[in-house]
C-alpha cells in the first residue's frame, strides 16, 4: 500500500489495517544534477513532476521555468533527469529516502 489515501473509504470484508509504519517526511524534494536549490535553476529550466499539487505550489515557476508532466517510477524519473530530458524533477522526499536515493536530493522544498 503506497498510502492510506489508497484505501477504500468503505469497509471491505477481509481487508484489515494491521500495521502503520512510522511516518516519513511529508515534504517534496528537488532533484537536479546542476542546481542546488530552486533559486539556482537556470532561466526557462524544464522541471518535471507528476503532481498537479506540486505544479500549483511552484506557480509561478522559479526563474521562468516550465513545469512538465513526468511519468514512471522513481528510477525511470531519475533516468529521464540524467538523460537530460529535465533540468530538475520534484519528487516526494519520503519516497527518495525509502528507496535509498536521499543522496540525490538537492533541496527539501520548504512547505511554505
Residue 11 pLDDT greater than 70, yes or no: yes
6: annotated active-site residue: yes
Domain at 41-112: CATH code:
3.40.190.10
pTM for the full predicted model: 0.76
Which of the residues 6, 28, 69, 87 is marked catalytic?
A: 6
- Vertex 59: Cα angle to 49 and 39 (nearest 5): 80
Question: How far is it, in rounded angstroms, from Cα 60 to Cα 25?
Answer: 25
Q: What is the pLDDT of residue 15?
A: 86
Classified as helix, coil or strand, 73 is coil
Name residue, grid cell 511552484: 58
Tens of pLDDT, residue by residue over 14-63, are: 988 888 778 878 889 999 999 999 888 888 888 998 887 777 776 666 66
Q: Where are the domains of the chain?
A: 41-112
Tens of pLDDT, residue by residue over 63-94, are: 666 778 899 999 999 999 999 999 999 999 99
Question: How far is it, in rounded angstroms, from Cα 56 to Cα 67?
Answer: 10
Amino acid at each position: 500500500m503506497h498510502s492510506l489515501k489508497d484505501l477504500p473509504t468503505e469497509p471491505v470484508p477481509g481487508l484489515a489495517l494491521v500495521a502503520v509504519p512510522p511516518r516519513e517526511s511529508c515534504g517534496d524534494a528537488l532533484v537536479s544534477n546542476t542546481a542546488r536549490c530552486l533559486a539556482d535553476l537556470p532561466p526557462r529550466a524544464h522541471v518535471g513532476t507528476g503532481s498537479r499539487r506540486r505544479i500549483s505550489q511552484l506557480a509561478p515557476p522559479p526563474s521562468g521555468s516550465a513545469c512538465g508532466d513526468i511519468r514512471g517510477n522513481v528510477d525511470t524519473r531519475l533516468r529521464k533527469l540524467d538523460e537530460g530530458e529535465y533540468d530538475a524533477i520534484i519528487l516526494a522526499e519520503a519516497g527518495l529516502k525509502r528507496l535509498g536515493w536521499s543522496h540525490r536530493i538537492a533541496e527539501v522544498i520548504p512547505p511554505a
